[in-house]
Amino acid sequence: MCGIVGYIGKREAYPILIQGLHRLEYRGYDSSGVAMISTKGELNIYKSKGKVDALEHYASDKDLSGTIGIAHTRWATHGEPNDTNAHPHYSQSKRLALVHNGTIENYTVLKVALLKHGYTFVSETDTEVVVQLIEYIRDTNHCSLFDAVKEATRQIVGAYAIAVIDKENPDQIIVARQSSPLVIGVGEDEYFIASDATPIIEYTNKVVYLNDGEVAIVNRGEPLHVFDAQGESKDCIDITELRMSIEELEKGGYPHFMLKEIFEQPKTLADCISGRISSDGKRVVLSGVVMNKEKFLNAHRIIIAACGTSWHAGLIGKHLIEDFCRIPVEVEYASEFRYRNPVVTEHDILIALSQSGETADTLAALELAKKKGAFVFGICNVIGSSIPRATHSGCYIHVGPEIGVASTKAFTGQVTVLAMLALLVGQMKGTVSDETLHRVASDLRRVPKLIKDIFKMDSQIQDLAKIFTYAHNFLYLGRGYNYPAALEGALKLKEISYIHAEGYPAAEMKHGTIALIDNEMPTVVIAIKDNVYEKTVSNIQQVKARGGRVLAIVTEGDEIVSKMADYIIEVPEIAECLTPLLTSIPLQLLAYYIAVIKGRNVDQPRNLAKSVTVE
């Protein structure tokens, strides 16, 4: 949701900024821009609607000199995507330039006040208000840029990560953060600023994550100065060493990140379970859980708060935890939970489930639960992101950077961690037998290999995609552990192909949705051999009886559904609770190939952004 990049040092800033924007383009791609202080001392801003390529094209014949600059790729919140609303924004005098990620809630009030002081605005954005406010404060208080930013952050309400430069001081960038992520990379006499570490990693693996309320002075060739929310200078700045590699950020020969990430799953899931399940499959260890054993043993209830795909993984987590731990679990849309007055007590655990660790609603849900006394536990992918830093404890899914906007490997990583958590807590509580733990944990260890087996059907799935691309509506049905997998399959198709798709619990279909079935609308049914297999078979018969076309995901060797369905995809047999880890793979591939045939921009679907840091 908007990406910020900044650079100050000895190198030419422009190539670093542009490369950084490309790396962050998954966060927003409706417009982008750069601001640099040139060798002549001019503050140049170049902006363009559309992708970063459009900006590069626009800027190609401009003065691109300078060793300090800030840049931005936008996902519009205030004002339509166009050149004017794109960031960076100048202040009134054109002395300052600013980029911003987040939303300023009180911007209209501030704008009215600034208009009264003679300020004029060229864009419709909340961001322009911030840069004007900073200039106004600096000019009226005759203070430094740093003091003006500090004072402005006191006056603005909302979420922001900002970076500001001043034409008159080409040796300084001021940055600030509140509820939107900001990372500073520390190099040799140079600093890199970004919304996440991906633009930084090719230059340095030493990073400083700004905390909420912090403002930093990034001076050329000087040590970093970070000031906490109280305005106190921090004597000791935490420098984190990243372990991410640059290869993880490249497409590695695949046409899209999404396809690369789908095919990476055998490796990412092996990494996810590595060191967490013993080689004999008899022990599961998640240190974040073990260290808080008493909390899990005494929990009256677990609430899983998440959004989108993570919410679907959370639904599978509910089944797992209730099955193995006998602890009641509620799965909440974080955006609803945070604005209700939910009953949460100190006997509850809230699990914040998020790939990015930055989703604004999930972060707010966890803060609410924390305030009400719950123990908050994070399951995230992005190391050092806001959610892991706000929780009491947690564990990472360790699937590596997910760049494709449609989540794939993070989903299976989340389900894998939830399965390990359920087994571990169940073992600690004595609600799961050693035999079950051994069976399920051993099957978890087989998952990477079984996913590789599913990939052998890749060309068959491509053929199915050709058959089904005509459809305008799809129905996805599943039951039990695979109802969330059906929801997830439908979401994947919707977001990247723009085909309407609905996920439904198979039996619930007859209470309304069945009215939609005809030979135009394909039904994808997950009909693996589980405890409701016969029921699902009869749901398929109901669809067929109404002329529906059925594509079924079945267990290898199935002889019943394969005779009824128009098409089948087989997945290997595994413990029932782990089946979504396999059934979701062909659904990811199906969505991908349909979207490709339809000519969609798979990695950057319209209107979407990778991490939703605004409400």
- Residues at the contact surface with ligand F6R, assessed by CB under 6 A: 307-310, 354-356, 359, 362, 406-407, 491, 495, 611-612
30 burial level (CB within 10 Å; 0-12, 13-18, 19+)? buried
Separation of alpha carbons 221 and 125, rounded Å: 33
Answer whether 416's CB lies under 8 Å from 447's CB.
yes
Q: Toward ligand F6R, which CB reaches closer, 348 or 495? A: 495
Q: How far is the CB of 364 from ligand F6R (least distance, A)?
A: 12
- Least separation in angstroms between CB 107 and ligand F6R: 24
The catalytic residue among 49, 111, 318, 610 is 610
Residue 350 CB, nearest distance to ligand F6R (Å)? 14
Which one, 264 or 495, has the nearer CB to ligand F6R? Answer: 495
CA–CA separation, 555 and 176 (whole Å): 53
Instruction: In angstroms, give the least distance from the CB of 456 to ligand F6R.
Output: 25
C-alpha span between 277 and 299 (Å, rounded): 24
How open is the CA angle 67-73-77, to the nearest 5 degrees? 140
2 is catalytic: yes
| Chain residue whose CB lies nearest ligand F6R | 308
Helices (H), 117-179: 126-141, 145-155
Query: Among 2, 380, 395, 577, which one carries the catalytic annotation?
Result: 2
Q: Find the shortest distance in angstroms from Cβ 257 to ligand F6R.
A: 12
Distance between CA atoms of 491 and 503, rounded to whole angstroms? 8
Q: Which two tokens stand for residue 568?
A: 């089948």
C-alpha 546/C-alpha 555 separation (Å) is 25
Q: Is residue 303 within 8 Å of 376, Cβ to Cβ?
A: no
Least separation in angstroms between CB 24 and ligand F6R = 15
Q: Beta-strand (E) ranges in 179-292?
A: 183-186, 191-194, 206-209, 215-219, 225-227, 240-241
Exposed, middle or buried by CB within 10 Å (0-12, 13-18, 19+), for 93?
A: exposed
Q: Which of 76/110 has CB closer to ligand F6R? A: 76
Q: Specify the 3-state DSSP secondary structure of 517.
A: coil
Distance in Å, CB of 155 to ligand F6R, minimum: 29
Instruction: Tell me how far apart the alpha carbons of residues 227 and 218 are, in angstroms, rounded to a whole number.
Output: 11
Verify whether residue 234 is a known catalytic residue. no
Q: Minimum CB separation from ligand F6R for residue 71, in Å? A: 23
**Identity of the residue, 67 or 381, whose beta carbon is nearer to ligand F6R in the bound complex:** 381
Rounded (5°) CA angle 533-538-544: 125
388: CB partners within 8 A, 6+ apart: 357, 378, 380, 394, 396
**Contact between residue 304 and residue 343 where contact means Cβ atoms under 8 Å apart:** no
Q: Which CB sits closer to ligand F6R, 355 or 427?
A: 355
Between 261 and 558, CB nearer to ligand F6R: 261
Of 201 and 487, nearer to ligand F6R (C-beta) is 487
Q: By C-beta, is 44 or 310 nearer to ligand F6R?
A: 310
- Counting every residue written for the chain, the total comes to 615
Here the tokens at position 122 are 């060229």
Residues labelled as active-site residues: 2, 610
